[in-house]
Structure 1
């Protein structure tokens, strides 16, 4: 069975696939795309704010039952009061959302089990599976690993070529994926090509500094590019990007060649989005 649980922004979670909470139904596996219409013609599709339901039972004995009800509501409400969406997980994918309503049935009899219908609302109703790749290391580290003949667990995603000049990234999703790219200093004007596309920042990163290119969302206004200094100060790098090459261009599906000068390390995570959770894990 899928593990289904809600995780808030305070590292608290409620699991709906083990007692005292057990899922009994709902529509979280349903998906809907809204058409973009112009003069009676469909121009494309988008996903607007969506409501979902999750039906559960809460079952425990005595004080543990009352505690289970209160703890669950506390976990949900902390995100609501903070106006920060939590994550509803189904298997290895999640949707950013709030749980805003709880409709209980059968509580009048004062027994140790009740049915509860939870209402979920999301303004970014995509199910996201994060795929984190092994680090693309400095050239010296890469040469050492290759010389030792190390066999990486993630060989299907990442491999060394014989001459150390080319490495690869494999996106197993069926469409382009958003990403988060973290470049670790020290380095000057870091530039990386993935699938022939240039991602370049015209800035200096010192020891214990790193830059982040965040294209994890399809909404332009929520994307970011910045660096974090040694003392934790965040500095916007929007004007330091190479303006001739789209800094947030998504990573295409399939195998992409990755090239850079080898003088710095970087890490990349892909964000694969779907309209509904995957049926098979």
Structure 2
């Protein structure tokens, strides 16, 4: 599968008969280096990677009206991405490359119109995403012993607004249990959720973690590393930790975003990459989690 997806979400299939990629060399890359001259040879100080550039040769076939439509669509989407500085994606199998189409030339022919295009990838890595989704687990039932009172009902964010006499009560409910901002220390909580994730790369990888409310001070442990944010996420809200952009954002019910970078756990970085191989993930289990791993390579993995 080969296709280009513009930043507007428009897909152009480059493996169809009418619009087909005929020539490109995706399995080629290079590293540059910085060095200090020695008496014999050099000492490597650092490796770096320049942006990737590829030339694509695309054959556009069909009736004249079909060719015109396909050629115009290619230009429209490429120009939109460049003018708005929003890269598209070149999809090759399971991997994608964020890129711009910088140049193009067209050569009409009897059998097909040949369009040659040059793409630029500012971030020079092919990326494969693998997403793991873990649903909230049901809480243990509460046993009411003789003489004990029923637990207090949940107080939601809306109730805090409706009843101003409790304006600062940010209690949230996890399953059937009610939990406040000042709860037991982490080491006293029983961890219910245990799952496995697999970083198939040979290197630690970036990730995007989404945590769904309601939850207070969400905490996930991966490979004995703590990912924690000291905040309250209400029902229908979500918290997104992105290691690539070093951001912690809470997204509200209406799509509003709150920067919670300063609320991140400070003793261990919430942006620590996920180690290679199979890793144990644990969390209290009372709220849902999505975690996407980004396998980044200089060239797409061979699938011959």
Same fold (TM over 0.5): yes
Which one of 4, 7, 11 corresponds to residue 6 of structure 1? 4
The answer (yes or no) to whether the contact 1:61–1:112 under 8 Å persists in 2 is: no
Offset, 1:28: 2.1
Match of 1:269, SS state, is: strand
**What TM-score results when the alignment is normalised by the length of structure 1?**
0.83
Match of 1:132, SS state, is: strand
Q: Hey, what does 1:185 align to over in structure 2?
A: 213
The answer (yes or no) to whether the contact 2:192–2:283 under 8 Å persists in 1 is: no
* Range with greater deviation from structure 2 (232-241 or 10-19): 10-19
Q: Does 1:45 align with 2:55?
A: no
State the distance in 2 between where 1:124 and 1:238 align.
24
The answer (yes or no) to whether the contact 1:14–1:75 under 8 Å persists in 2 is: no
Offset, 1:165: 5.2
Which one of 99, 106, 110 corresponds to residue 101 of structure 2? 99
Offset, 1:190: 0.6
Offset, 1:93: 0.5
State the distance in 2 between where 1:7 and 1:268 align.
23
- How many correspondences in the alignment? 251
Question: What stretches of structure 2 of length at least 5 have no aligned partner?
Answer: 142-190
State the distance in 2 between where 1:142 and 1:116 align.
63
State the distance in 2 between where 1:35 and 1:280 align.
30
Offset, 1:4: 1.1
Offset, 1:29: 2.1
Q: Report the RMSD for the aligned CA atoms in angstroms.
A: 2.1
* Range with greater deviation from structure 2 (72-81 or 232-241): 72-81
Offset, 1:201: 0.1
User: 1:101 and 1:207, CA in 2 relative to 1: closer, same or farther beyond 3 A?
Assistant: same
User: 1:38 and 1:139, CA in 2 relative to 1: closer, same or farther beyond 3 A?
Assistant: farther
State the distance in 2 between where 1:33 and 1:24 align.
27
Q: Does 1:279 align with 2:302?
A: yes
Aligned pairs for 1:226-241 within 5 A: 226-241=249-264
The answer (yes or no) to whether the contact 1:28–1:53 under 8 Å persists in 2 is: no
State the distance in 2 between where 1:26 and 1:167 align.
40
**What TM-score results when the alignment is normalised by the length of structure 2?**
0.77
Q: Hey, what does 1:154 align to over in structure 2?
A: none
